[in-house]
Amino acid sequence: MQQGTTMPQATYLRTLAYLRRLGALPQVGVATVDMYHDPWCAHFQGRRCDGAPEGKVRWTQPAAAPH
């Protein structure tokens, strides 16, 4: 890869960013998210995700407030 170029973002990362913008993920803390990839997604061949994955938030734990 040439210097100054960026690798295209995997589509599951865009899905996570979208869930965060919706407020489904805490801004600070921990979240467990299940990603459901299309059966034909390159993810299953060990390559970068190129499908349209769906994300389901199972659990979130916001960061504790400082004392």
pTM value is 0.60
Q: Contact 52/38 with Cβ under 8 angstroms?
A: yes
Answer whether residue 51 shows pLDDT above 60.
yes
Q: Can you give the pLDDT at residue 60?
A: 77
Q: Contact 10/26 with Cβ under 8 angstroms?
A: no
For 20-44, write each residue's pLDDT tens digit.
888 888 777 888 889 899 999 998 9
Q: Three-state DSSP class for 61?
A: strand
